[in-house]
Structure 1
Amino acid sequence: MNLENYFISQFNSSRIGDDGALIGDTVYSKDAFFENVHFKTKWMSHYQIAAKSMMINISDAISMNAKPKYALLSVAMPKSISKQQMRELASGFKDTASTYGIEIIGGDTISNIKLDITITIISTTKRPLLRSGLRQGYMIAYTGELGKSKKDLQRLLGNAKLHKKSKFVDIKLREKFVNNCSRLLSSGMDISDGLFSDLDKLASANKLGFKFNKKISKAIACSGEEYEMLVAFDKRYKKALIRRAAQVRTPLNIFATSARVRYTNRCKAHHF
């Protein structure tokens, strides 16, 4: 057990284990976005930093088939931040929230030695998509293309600049896919820690492993911050799911089947 999972195991709640906590028809989700952990200010504008911090939190709601409604922001800012940079942050938060119909209802601001952001998103859902629900013999798939985020991170670490449409700074979520296909999906989550690492969470939630029908390189499967969807479904729905995914122009990559085998994550943990 890695240190992140060990720490989480100290809290005994049946609501822990999905991208957000489901209480009734409400989903509560929270993620951190910290300078020198998730980003450097020389890599992105303050507008881009705020926008991405909102998007990675909205992703948790989308992945659970929930509609985000409200946001609470906590922003720790260095004393050296300028008023112009503050305005850029505010605009990034507001513009991204507006795109998804989210109202920013409060939060907290403090002085810090660097820029750290945490956001709570409050969402509602009539048909929640959870990580549990996987059965033996179900098909496993991911949306879109994986690997670009890691490549772009490596370029940034090498002091290269990224195009403003780079996946590392300009996240595209799969809300249309989830909305269109939720009735056919048994379980799902977003790919934030990398495909192999997130498969580990899916395996743990359902006490099942996977038989792969195609080889997936670690360069692709260990790429974090992709924010594509990892989903499972009954093989009877394969044709219908492929058709519905195509309706919303979402590539669907079916790569494994759930089975009673042991799953081993071949990627290094991102957090500890």
Structure 2
Amino acid sequence: MTFSLWFDTGGGGLPGRANRLQSGVRYRDEDSFTAALRRRLPSRGRVRLGIGDDAAVLAGGTVLTVDGYRQGVHFDLHYLSWREVGARCACAALSDVVAMGARPDALFVTLALPPAARRRDVTALYRGLDSVCARLGCEIAGGDTIAGRELLLALAATGRTQCPLLRAGARPGDGLYLTGQAGAAETGRLRLARDPAASRRNPAVSRHVRPRPRLEAMLALRPRITALIDTSDGIAGDARRLARASEVRIIIAPEHLPTLTATRTLCRRSGRDLTEFILTAGEDHELLFCARGPVPGRAGAVPVTRIGRVERGRGLWLERAGRRQRLTLRGYDHLRP
């Protein structure tokens, strides 16, 4: 098996890419790294659910997740304001709590501030973070600040539930569903890269800048959900994680994937394959879930679309016109070359 490890560094590299360092420690991808940690780190009975889901669940029902965000990889200050960076990162962190079936309680913020950062920048960043917390009914409860060469954030988010929704739980006969529009955030990112002044009211741009966690939709759909993940790394990668955790086969019908007109136009004009684009585009932070029985086509204002089904077997498959093929596409992965 071939392994490689990618580290984020402070030196060059293109926006959106990590910089490769030579290392004797090698892993093929993030899932391989996670699996290795699960094998090597023992449980001591204090954690109800540990490594391998969107968040950990402690013995008392507290849900806890930690995420890191780096300039040039997770956000770009060339077209996002400091306030927008704060809101975007808060949405991503708190979405993991929602994806566990929990209501967010608190957000803890650790910052590495570059020399060029000004007081008004930091104030704007925290206003962005808190604007998302206010909408979800949680609060910033602490953190830490250090000096660094570039802007880095590490956000810890907490919530509480006695009945978490897990990636494991899908059963043969379930349907596979998605909230919102597939590929919207990446469509918005590409639009902003071309035109930093693009209207934030544009649906695609809005989903990139502020991918609001689907808390209300999760609460409305919760009684029907058997397995759940949020689409941070792309539908292909995240559906594969559902299939692996639930030990089932998931079939995706690409013609049913919901997309914005802007996404279809982007792919047509740029020569991109639409199916590949929407299956691998990440950071939509939509709910990708399995459910049995009837599921409404909307959860409040959020559209809900059936995009596939669950069967006995293993793996992730694509079905077109009655013909199946194993889906080998993968979403974004920090550790994969």
Q: Residue type of the partner of 2:105?
A: K
Q: Is the 8 A contact 1:68 1:122 kept in 2?
A: yes
> Which runs of no fewer than 5 residues in structure 1 stay unpaired?
none
For 2:117 and 2:196, locate their aligned partners in 1 and report how far apart those are by CA, in whole Å.
24
Q: Give how far 1:159 is off.
A: 5.3
Task: Give the alignment's TM-score, normalised by structure 2.
Answer: 0.74
What SS class does the counterpart of residue 108 from structure 1 fall into? strand
Contact 2:244 2:315 in 1 (8 A): no
Q: Which has the larger radius of gyration?
A: 2
3-state SS of the aligned residue for 1:128? coil
Instruction: Map 1:121-136 onto structure 2 (within 5 A).
Output: 121-136=157-172
Aligned position for 1:257: 309
Once the two structures are overlaid, the 10-residue window that deviates more, 55-64 or 157-166, is: 157-166
How far has the Cα of 1:269 moved from its partner?
3.6
- Helix, strand or coil for the counterpart of 2:208? coil
Cα deviation 1:76-103 (Å, max 9, x = unaligned): 0101111111111122222222222223
Q: Secondary structure at the match of 2:185?
A: helix
* Structure 2 contact 109–154 (Cα < 8 Å) conserved: yes
Q: Superposed, which structure 2 residues align to 1:1-272 within 5 Å?
A: 2-12=28-38, 15-24=50-59, 25-158=61-194, 160-165=196-201, 166=205, 167-215=207-255, 217-234=275-292, 237-238=293-294, 241-242=295-296, 246=298, 248-259=300-311, 260-263=313-316, 264-272=327-335
1:134 to 1:233, Cα distance in 2 relative to 1, 3 A: same
Pairwise CA RMSD = 1.9
Q: What is the TM-score when the length of structure 1 is the normalising length? A: 0.91
Task: Give the equivalent residue in structure 1 for 2:21.
Answer: none
1:261 deviates by 4.0
Shift of 1:262: 3.0
Q: Which consecutive unaligned segments of at least 5 residues does structure 2 have? A: 1-26, 44-48, 258-274, 317-326
- Post-superposition CA distance 1:41-87 (Å, at most 9, x none): 11111011011111111101111111111121111010111111111
Contact (CA 8 Å) 1:131, 1:205: kept in 2 or not? yes
Contact 1:2/1:269 (<8 A) preserved: no
1:130 and 1:181 map into 2 onto residues whose CA distance is 14
Q: 1:4 deviation in Å?
A: 1.4
CA distance in structure 1 between the aligned counterparts of 2:330 and 2:30, rounded to whole angstroms: 14
Paired positions, count: 266
Q: Which amino acid aligns with 2:182?
A: L
Whole-angstrom CA distance in 2 between matches of 1:158 and 1:164: 14
Percent identity of the aligned residues? 24
Q: CA deviation at 1:134?
A: 0.8
The residue type paired with residue 220 of structure 1 is I
- Counterpart CA distance in 2 for 1:187 and 1:150 is 25
- Is the CA contact 2:228–2:288 (under 8 Å) kept in the aligned structure 1? yes
Q: Quick check: 2:85–2:125 contact (8 Å CA) kept in 1?
A: yes
CA distance in 2, matches of 1:70, 1:213: 38
Change in 2 beyond 3 A, CA 1:72/1:47: same
